[in-house]
Chains A and B, each alone.
Chain A
Amino acid sequence: MLTEALVLSAFLFAVGTFGFLVRRNAIIMFLCIELQLNAVNLSFVAFSRYLGIEGQLYVFFVMTVAAAEAAVGLAIIISIFRHFETVNVNNFNLLKW
């Protein structure tokens, strides 16, 4: 079951990458990053079944970092929305030359 779980994890990571590249809605790009984090979590859990309980600890830490990242990222999205009245990243071109 380990190899299947790793293939599932690779597939979910690739779907997350694809979504991040093609979507222009900032919140959905954020969700795709969360999907990538979850794909990595899945391979941590699968490896921890064979290599020791530490893998599950790393998943615990990854979840905490994801929670912190979601809080700060959504705050950034809210303040950007106040300024531009949209969350479409095509309109955020202040740093583009």
Chain B
Amino acid sequence: MANFFDFLLSADFLFYVFGGVAIGSAIALVTRKSPVASLLFMVATLASLAGVYVLFEAHFLAAIQIIVYAGAIMVLFLFVIMLLNLGHDYQKDLKGGAWAIVAFVVAGGLAGVLAQQFKGTEALPIYQNAQGPEVIDALLASQGAVGAIAHPLFSDYVVAFELTGILLLVAIVGALALAKRRV
């Protein structure tokens, strides 16, 4: 019995659980008619992706995935849906017929090409001299989940970080200017 619980809590099994939930709710997101239902399935996808991030030891990203993405950005979408009163707009907006087949072929071909690229990724030369999971684990153990990200962010990538701040400022000003009734 203890072995069974170990299996249920093993990273491999949990990966398939979270991945299955992510795939299922992504498909539901595309196929639901009501925008609110689609949005809630998107939140489920984001939450299960946060679970996958935890399995890859990206704890800080898992936290901001929940707080910023599922918490803030998705609530912004929900506000807009409610503001525009789209919750009861059940008109069919799936493109039917030939267009759906074309889209299916494009998406399937894209998935096939990407999956083919990923086949045998671990045998590529870049992984032969990669630092491997042990180095990341040591970094996380010595600096913590936040410190491991914050240290490079405020040293090597500080210019990109400041530019991100400017980008957010521009986005705020742009959103206000666009959404104002009289410009």
**Which residues of A are in contact with B by a Cβ distance under 8 Å?**
1-19, 21-25, 27-28, 30-32, 34-35, 38, 41-42, 45-46, 48-54, 56-57, 59-61, 63-72, 74-79, 81-82, 87-88
Contacting residues, chain B, for A72 (C-beta < 8 A):
171, 174-175, 178
Residue in A1, A14, A24 whose Cβ sees the most chain B Cβ within 10 Å: A14
Contacts of A10 in B (CB 8 A): 110-111, 114-115, 118
Q: Which residues of A contact B110 (CB under 8 A)?
A: 10, 13-14, 17
Q: Are A79 and B179 in contact (CB under 8 A)?
A: yes
Task: Tell me the B residues contacting A by CB distance below 8 Å.
Answer: 11-12, 15-16, 19, 22-23, 26-27, 29-30, 35, 38-39, 42, 45-46, 49, 52-53, 55-58, 60-61, 64-65, 68-69, 72-73, 76-77, 80-81, 83-84, 86, 91, 93-95, 99-100, 102-104, 106-108, 110-111, 114-115, 118-122, 126-127, 130-133, 135-136, 139, 148-149, 152-153, 157, 160, 164, 167-168, 170-172, 174-176, 178-179, 181
Are A68's CB and B12's CB within 8 A? no
- Tell me, rounded to whole Å, the shortest Cβ–Cβ distance linking B20 to chain A: 9
25 contacts between A and B (CB under 8 A): A1-B12, A4-B16, A5-B19, A8-B22, A8-B52, A10-B110, A10-B115, A11-B115, A17-B106, A18-B103, A18-B107, A21-B102, A23-B30, A27-B86, A34-B42, A38-B49, A53-B139, A53-B148, A61-B164, A71-B175, A72-B174, A74-B76, A74-B80, A75-B178, A79-B178
Answer whether A45 and B56 are a contact pair too, CB < 8 Å, given A56-B61, A68-B167. Answer: yes
A28 CA / B148 CA spacing, docked (Å): 35
**Quick check: B136 and A53 within 8 Å, CB to CB?**
yes
By a CB distance below 8 angstroms, the chain A residues around B171 are 67-69, 71-72
User: What 9 pairs between A and B have smallest CB-CB spacing?
Assistant: A68-B171, A14-B111, A10-B114, A21-B103, A19-B30, A18-B107, A75-B178, A6-B118, A75-B175
